[in-house]
Chain A
Amino acid sequence: MKREILDRLLAAKAAAMPVALVTDLNTGLQTLVYEDTAHGGFGLEADLLDEVRRRIRQDRSGLLTDPQDEDGFRLFVHVHNPAMRLLLVGAVHIAQALAPLAVLAGYDVTVIDPRSAFATEARFPGIKLNHAWPDEALAELKPDVRTAVVTLTHDPKLDDPALIAALRSPAFYVGALGSKRTHALRLDRLRDEGLSEAEVQHIRGPVGLSIGAVTPAEIAISIMAQITCVRRGENHPC
């Protein structure tokens, strides 16, 4: 890999900019394809550029070969998308277990809690903290299709505005901590707020896979397992 390509790839990754490194396996030449431009050792025709960008959107690395000629071009498309994000509402004990677990799984984690006695560096070393009200924090952080949102406070004043904002975003996972009874009451409140049945049913609650989790760490594992299942497990019940 040429130094210039490496430097540009690192810069794109540091800036959380989606990019694909395309390697011509026949020649070893490499080109970086961004959403709106391309740069590198060889040019790609418009239809191939479109295909590479489609794969960036699908987060799908893989070979791209000439359908007409098996001795034709042979490209490897390596998609580098920004890290998946996890937004945790509530700097509670379970969040202290879930945040580092999610970091280990490759997520960019932000803990949101306006109660600054909870959301402290001492309790969440190295984790991004946001002290805004959850709905304001979500408006600022803009959950996208690569974002999961989990509410953990048990306090409707904090959880409900976060859930409403999350359900109206493209977030791929929305979960809420609470027992079946707590969750049923929560759904009634959200319906009263004008959310549709389809919207409220999108919430994973009680949050997490059913593995009999008891301790904060075990509950964190069940939540991370469910997020993983929703992301990866096309044919698995989550």
Chain B
Amino acid sequence: MNDTLMADNIVEQAAAWRAAGRRVALATVVSTWGSSPRPVGSQMAIDADGAMAGSVSGGCIEGAVAHEAAKTMEDGEARLLSFGVTNEMAWEVGLACGGQVQVYVEAVE
């Protein structure tokens, strides 16, 4: 059974990757409005090679979050990302899931 399907163990995943010497960022949903698919507190761990565990949406923004996470791994700066959706920009930001989410991205030391 895939461990990352089970609730609330992404921090453990991030720590395991870090312990193996990989650079890791942790992304956390800090607020949502409307019909966002993953609740506040949902997390995704990302490593420098782009490996991902967990999710912060229904697959709509993970790519964009991973892109920002790479910057955070590079410069060590945390980032607060906002993803919204309007009809005009839905394709542009890939937020076909609907709703709005704010995602906090931090490096794991």
Contacts and interface: CB of A to CB of B under 8 A. Distances in A.
A171 B58 CA distance: 32
Interface of A: 1-3, 6, 9-10, 13, 23, 25, 28, 61-63, 76, 78-80, 83, 100, 103-106
A213 B28 CA distance: 37
Interface string B53-97: 000000000000000000000000010100000000000000000
A1 B17 CA distance: 14
Chain B interface bracket (under 10, 10 to 19, 20 to 34, 35 or more): 20 to 34
Contact of B31 (A63, A80, A105): A63
B78 A104 contact: no
Nearest to A30: B106
A6 B41 CA distance: 16
Contacts of B28: 76, 78
Given A1-B107, A2-B109, A25-B104, 20 more contacts: A1-B26, A1-B106, A3-B109, A6-B14, A6-B18, A6-B109, A9-B11, A23-B106, A25-B30, A25-B80, A28-B106, A61-B40, A63-B30, A63-B31, A76-B104, A78-B41, A80-B11, A83-B7, A100-B1, A106-B8
A171 B38 CA distance: 26
Contacts of A78: 28, 41
29 contacts: A1-B26, A1-B106, A1-B107, A1-B108, A1-B109, A2-B109, A3-B109, A6-B14, A6-B18, A10-B12, A23-B104, A25-B30, A25-B80, A25-B104, A28-B106, A61-B41, A62-B40, A63-B30, A76-B30, A78-B28, A78-B41, A80-B8, A80-B11, A83-B7, A103-B6, A104-B1, A104-B5, A104-B6, A106-B7
